[in-house]
Amino acid sequence: MSPEHVAIGMFGTLFVVLFLGHPLAFSLGAVAVLFGVIGWGGSPEVVFAMFANKTYGVMEEYVLVAVPLFIFMAQMLDTSGVAEKLFHTMHVLLGPIRGGLGLAVIFVCTVFAASTGVVGATEVAIGLLAAPNLLKRGYDIPMTAGCICAGGTLGILIPPSIMLVVYGGLTNISVGKLFAAAMVPGLLLSFLYMVYVAVRCGINPKMGPPLPLEERTYSLSQKIVMALTSLFPPVFLIGIVLGSIVGGVATTTEAAGLGAGGAMLLALAYGRLNWASVNEAAQSTLKITCMVMILFLGGNAFQSIFMGLGGGDAVSNLLLGLKVSPYVILFIMMGIVFFLGCFIDWLGILLIVVPVFAPVVDEIGFNTLWFGTLICVNLQMAFLTPPFGYSLFYLRGIAPPEMTMGLIYKGVVPFICLQWVGLILCIFFPEIVLWLPRAFFGE
């Protein structure tokens, strides 16, 4: 079997299996076993021996210990009521302007994303608070859905991010450098979302009407106290976690432990720390971590067989043989990631494309930190792109009945376009990505 046939056969079979409704992790593993046995002359012993070595390698990956700690941190912050207090404060501060509650949703999502690093926790927490409030005050349903979904996806990019930890484990790039590289692009996307909401609602106030005068009852001193008490605790926690990593005081895993402990202290300070909340957070952490690790093992099996049978070389030779500008090749790779994001989970995409694209990036001479950040910015769109965008289903599961799936799809389209704008800006202005890592870590 030629490498070209391997590449076509493995990806084709994987898509068929996925469209039949089988789980991604087991689909990756099953396709790997099938093509491994075919490719190596019907010898399953060789295939399973390779899988055992790969599994042991995953178990030895120290940086992955940070994954359950960051997930537990997110679950405890959700329990602590940080999002609830912050949304109420921004509701008071921004509500009087057109589109103010939409801006409040995105701002709170940005802060909560920088505190948790998990999309599901951010979107469910904010969605339960924001969706009823915005709809009750006459906000356009697609605009409301778009703000919540797009704001929620910031959790996968703005550090500390589970995706960046996994990417660092896959590529041996410093997670601290990845955190620094992703910070400005994440804030850029948040800024683009807020500008869009402000402009759309400024032109058409019916999409996001301001709060009526009778609801603007807070004095200036009350607003200042609310801002300090709701914004300072999560920002302080963010500073501890990220500052300890980029400052070289703690490793990613140690900083994740600090974050988990800090989240428990916040829950204690807000009177939400009890055995039931800790037990619920621990169980959720266990389930999500198991899902991530099973996907990691299935993806490792798939890429091992794919690379071992020459599929990676076939794709690399195809891309490098196009005789076009390196940036054309880059956009082809970004297009492939975007297409896969419509159908496959972000972790599966990382495990499939990173080993294939890495040799191409080395051959072209692109900065690997910059390229990795572009991949992660692109993968934000995987949460929004129909038909299988996870954020769409998160929101539909908690949304009022009038927020139908069709309206949610309609609402996220402008934000997907804004994500492409952010990605293109990061491509043509690399300093957006590289300035902060250079400031902290040097050349």
56-105 per-position pLDDT tens digit: 777 777 777 888 888 888 788 777 777 777 777 887 888 788 888 889 88
Provide the pLDDT for residue 11: 80
CA–CA separation, 102 and 91 (whole Å): 9
* Mean pLDDT of all residues belonging to the chain: 83
| Most confidently modeled range among 82-86, 257-261, 318-322, 398-402 | 257-261
Assess whether pLDDT exceeds 70 at residue 121: no
Assess whether pLDDT exceeds 70 at residue 42: no
Query: Which one, of 112, 120, 107, lies nearest residue 80 by Cα?
Result: 112
SS3 of the chain: the string is CCHHHHHHHHHHHHHHHHHCCCCHHHHHHHHHHHHHHHHCCCCHHHHHHHHHHHHHHHHCCHHHHHHHHHHHHHHHHHHHCHHHHHHHHHHHHHCCCCCHHHHHHHHHHHHHHHHHCCHHHHHHHHHHHHHHHHHHCCCCHHHHHHHHHHHHHHHHCCCCCHHHHHHHHHHCCCHHHHHHHHHHHHHHHHHHHHHHHHHHHHHCHHHCCCCCHHHCCCCHHHHHHHHHHHHHHHHHHHHHHHHHHHCCCCCHHHHHHHHHHHHHHHHHHCCCCCHHHHHHHHHHHHHHHHHHHHHHHHHHHHHHHHHHCCHHHHHHHHHHCCCCCHHHHHHHHHHHHHHHHCCCCHHHHHHHHHHHHHHHHHHHCCCHHHHHHHHHHHHHHHHCCCCCCHHHHHHHHHCCCCCCHHHHHHHHHHHHHHHHHHHHHHHHCCHHHHHHHHHHHCC
- Provide mean pLDDT across the span 375-386: 88
Assess whether pLDDT exceeds 90 at residue 423: yes
Assess whether pLDDT exceeds 70 at residue 117: no
CA–CA separation, 374 and 51 (whole Å): 30
Instruction: State pTM to two decimals.
Output: 0.84
Please state the φ and ψ torsions of residue 130, each to the nearest 5 degrees: -85, -45
CA–CA separation, 327 and 333 (whole Å): 10
Query: Which one, of 19, 155, 135, lies nearest residue 78 by Cα?
Result: 155
